[in-house]
């Protein structure tokens, strides 16, 4: 992948599968991904050499003062032949994708106490909202203990 000048112009993919429950109670496995609403500017080697190591963070903080960074949140739906318990298994790009929401980073809640405490907590990939449950992927279930260990080592 080429190096871009902003987090806001990049696509983000989940490699683990989750089980999504529809309004009528049907379950379907899928993987989430984020599509940026802004296009990515690819940096040349020369441009990259002139930037600081934290240029992406600096750019994002500057960006959200002027405009939010926005991604569309999609779920790519699995077909019966797709392996859902192996995060290394590739699915065809032709699989149906469903737009389920968006992520907006605008910095407006940056002073909230929950945001300030973010560094003292872990991301738990199996702590999910109603309607989404983890697949049986053993890698997905190994992530939480690894994140706990990471938190312990930071303090």
pLDDT in tens, 67-77: 999 999 999 99
Residue-level pLDDT at 2: 83
Summarize the confidence of residues 103-132 as an average pLDDT: 80
CATH tag for 7-154 (out of 3.50.50.60, 3.40.50.300, 3.40.50.9100, 2.40.180.10): 2.40.180.10
DSSP 8-state code for residue 151: H
Name the helix (H) or strand (E) containing 101: strand 97-105
Q: What is the pLDDT of residue 40?
A: 81
Distance CA 84, CA 89 (A): 8
pLDDT computed for residue 116 by the predictor: 64
pLDDT at residue 97 in the model: 96
Domain limits, the chain: 7-154
Report the predicted TM-score, pTM, of the whole model to 2 decimal places: 0.83
d(CA 151, CA 24): 39
Residue 107 has pLDDT above 80, yes or no: yes
Q: Which of 78-82, 105-109, 144-148 has the lowest mean pLDDT?
A: 105-109
Predicted confidence band of residue 152 (pLDDT cuts 50, 70, 90): confident
Residue 80, pLDDT above cutoff 80: yes
Supply the pLDDT for residue 117: 67
Phi then psi dihedrals of residue 111, to 5 deg: -95, 0
Q: What is the pLDDT of residue 151?
A: 82
What pLDDT score does 147 carry?
87
Poorest-confidence range of 16-30, 41-55, 104-118, 141-155? 104-118
User: Distance between CA 41 and CA 8 in Å, rounded?
Assistant: 10
């Amino acid at each position: 992948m080429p190096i871009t000048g902003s987090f806001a112009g990049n696509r983000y993919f989940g490699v683990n599968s989750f089980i999504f429950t529809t309004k009528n109670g049907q379950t379907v496995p899928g993987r989430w991904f984020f599509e940026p609403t802004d296009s990515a500017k690819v940096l040349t080697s020369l441009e990259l050499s002139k930037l600081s190591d934290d240029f992406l963070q600096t750019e994002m903080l500057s960006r959200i003062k002027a405009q939010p960074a926005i991604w569309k949140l999609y779920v790519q739906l699995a077909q019966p032949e797709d392996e859902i318990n192996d995060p290394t298994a590739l699915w065809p790009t032709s699989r149906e994708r469903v737009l389920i929401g968006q992520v907006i980073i605008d910095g407006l809640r940056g002073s909230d106490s929950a945001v300030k405490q973010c560094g003292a907590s872990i991301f738990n990939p199996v702590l999910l909202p109603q309607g989404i449950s983890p697949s049986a992927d053993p890698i997905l279930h190994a992530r939480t203990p690894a994140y706990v260990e990471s938190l312990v080592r930071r303090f």
